[in-house]
Amino acid sequence: MERAYLKSDATYDGLFFIGVRTTGIFCRPTCPARKPLPENVEYFAEAQAAVAAGFRPCKRCRPLLAASQPVWVAELLAEVEREPSAHISDRELKARGIDPATVRRYFHKRYGMSFQAFTRGRRLSGGLQRLQMAESLDAAVFESGYESHSGFRDAFVRVFGDTPGSYRNGDCVTLSWLDSPVGQLLAGATAMGICLLEFTERDRLEAQLTSIRKHFRMPAVPGVNGHLEKLQDELKKYFAGKLRRFTVPLQYPGTDFQRRVWRELLEIPYGETRSYEDVAIAVGVPKGMRAVGRANGLNRIAIVIPCHRVVNKGGHLGGYGGGLRRKQFLLDLERRTCRDRR
């Protein structure tokens, strides 16, 4: 890390962050500011770890914005999106001058799975979509990059738990990783709508994926669908201050009480807040502030179902699964937008 930092090696941007003890500021390894002495530098795997250690984000390299991907990652992902059926083996990675072990570490850290698992899931989710659109099995097999029906069938059964023919009308949680000013977001959507939007801290990612598979009782695989594309477009407009109410379809199963709370959250106007007591009264349980707090914390669709708009009595922020810094950022964004449009 020290060598990469001293050389401002862009291939490491996003893989670690540096905290400067003499200034209390943390940066990306490619920050253009003058480099401090190595003995004054502390290293962090995540930007949030630097914040937790008391470092402030640098105003030049802005490390709290979504970290730039290493060039080789951007190129691999672009190739996968351009041709999801392509197979990129470890041997081919080496031929391109990319260390397969580095690829595995990066994808496990950012996506919770290996690069091969990522591309395999992407191929199979595309195959399932073709089956759901009533395309032929041949089209699903060969356009997904498989050379035989048996190879496609075996891989399909391992991921979806059933054969392609039997699962044609089945569903899955399609996963997409979205960059935002408050960090990377993990989004998930079924055929019915968005069912997941959460922050992707490294220590939570595996638990998030396990939870979503268990809760919806269906596989979760990387891919794209119309709901995710609409969500990404609406999030861009939201963070630009150009959208106040999301219209993307949502799927948020839960207990009757939880759903009442979540529906009430959706009714909190943009730029305003409500206390836990206010929400409890609105859902018919005036003394149920703690239960409202628990339901608020179990919201799986951050930002869109605006649990960040619920604060303690008196206006204090209270808790937030994404961290108080993010909660304050979202509230400030909405208030600033409302103020600027008056």
Please list the active-site residues: 27, 307
Residues 6+ apart with CB under 8 A from 37: none
**Cα 164 to Cα 314: distance, rounded to the nearest angstrom:** 56
Coil, helix or strand for 17? Answer: strand
CB 63 within 8 A of CB 33: no
| CA dist., res. 12 & res. 270, Å (int) | 38
Question: Of 79, 170, 161, which is closest to residue 123 (Cα–Cα)?
Answer: 79
Q: Would you call 10 exposed, middle or buried from its count of C-beta atoms within 10 A (0-12, 13-18, 19+)?
A: middle
Burial class (CB in 10 A: 0-12, 13-18, 19+), 143: middle
Pure H helices in 255-309? 256-266, 276-282, 289-297
